[in-house]
Structure 1
Amino acid sequence: MATSAVMQSTLAGPITRVANKTSLNQVIPSNYASRIQRNTNLRVRCMTEKDRKKVLTPSTTPPPSPQLTPTPTPKVSTKFSDVFAFSGPAPERINGRLAMIGFVAAMAVELSNGQDVLAQISNGGVPWFLGTSVVLSLASLIPLFSGVSVESKSKGFMTSDAEMWNGRFAMLGLVALAFTEYVKGSALV
């Protein structure tokens, strides 16, 4: 506290002493830096909308703000090559949805029967996988080929980005589950 008071009194004085290696008592005037000119014509007022209407006279009313028309949503391409492009809306979304269903189904069967993922596939899991893949792919592609974007239907907590990240984690989880069970030689649970 005493140091703070000494520093304030030193810096607030008309001259300041600076100690450096060459001379211990070098005097620098406190007005060494140029002063910033103040604009006396500038005034800032905080007022409510009611007060603003009272202060403004008809000659000083601001011009009405232009009405903003909503920008039309860009047309989503429904071409097969655009929907199935590498960065298109279909490939990662469909694979992510299949991985989410596959991971949950693999864990449920593993908990109920004790079979690992590879045993589930070899014991009749292929028809279930193909049937689920066809149904889910068609259900995902019909809106995309109709011109409906996924982003237009996502609101609040369930956004399209959340679905993409959940699908990515499910893909990684399914591969990690199969690899772990293969290395371990038995079911995870």
Structure 2
Amino acid sequence: MASSVVMQSILASSKTPGVTGTRLSLIPAKYAFAPSMSRGACSLRIRCMAKDGQKKESSPASTIPTPQPKPKASTSFFDVLAFSGPAPERINGRLAMIGFVAAMAVEVSNGQDVFSQISNGGVPWFLGTSVLLTLASLVPLFKGVSVQSKSGGLMTSDAEMWNGRFAMLGLVALAFTEYLKGSALV
């Protein structure tokens, strides 16, 4: 503790206190060679060449870029549902993930293919699930919450996008294979 106080006082002062010639009055011998700092020793000048060949000087504070505030996500209906907006592909991917799992579960349990599932009362279930999932996906986006702010660990927004894309492809491939085969896949 005492050595910490001595070191702080040595480094904080402009000259080493207690040193008179080669004799030390208050500081032990092991601290005698502490660097002396002047007030201007910590300032830094940066020089650069301008385009016209003139030297210009700037202070360190002006060369450090200030962080720009992140723009808040737009909550406009047309921005959220735009072709490149945050909602369309994400909602379609979520619906495809649920649709693929549901189609495979019904196919394994009942032996019905996708087309017979749709014709035997699947349309109301599809519409109800679509409306519910779409509203649940749009509410946070209209409040200004971005999907990237809620992603972390394994459950990232990129992983959700890729899973949705694979589910869309899987659902189309399932329907196409069952159409060509003429019966359920499983």
1:1-189 residue pairs with structure 2 within 5 A? Answer: 57-58=37-38, 60-61=41-42, 71-189=68-186
Q: Deviations over 1:129-187 (max 9, x none)?
A: 00100100000000111111111111121111111111000000000000000000011
Structure-2 residue corresponding to 1:45: none
For residues 92-139 of structure 1, the C-alpha deviation after alignment (integer angstroms, 9 at most, x for no partner) is 010000000000000011111111001111111111100100100000
Residue type at the aligned position of 2:92: N
Cα distance change on mapping 1:56 and 1:138 into 2, 3 Å: farther
Match of 2:52 in 1: none
Shift of 1:56: 7.6
Q: Specify whether residues 155 and 55 from structure 1 end up closer, same or farther in structure 2 by C-alpha distance, changes over 3 A only.
A: farther
Distance 1:152 1:90 in 2: 15
**Aligned AA for 1:76?**
A
The CA deviation at 1:79 is 1.0
SS at match of 1:60: helix
Shift of 1:61: 3.3
Determine the C-alpha separation between the residues in 2 that align with 1:57 and 1:148. Answer: 50
Equivalent-residue separation in structure 2 for 1:68 and 1:104 (angstroms): 49
Structure 1 unaligned runs (5+)? 1-52
TM-score (norm 1): 0.66
How high is the sequence identity, in percent, across the aligned residues? 76
| RMSD, aligned α-carbons | 2.3
TM-score (norm 2): 0.67
- The alpha carbon displacement at 1:80 in A equals 1.1
- CA distance, structure 2, for counterparts of residue 111 and residue 174 of structure 1: 15
1:55, 1:183 → 2: CA distance?
Answer: 84
Aligned residue type for 1:143: P
Residues of 1 paired with 2:67 and 2:126: CA distance?
44
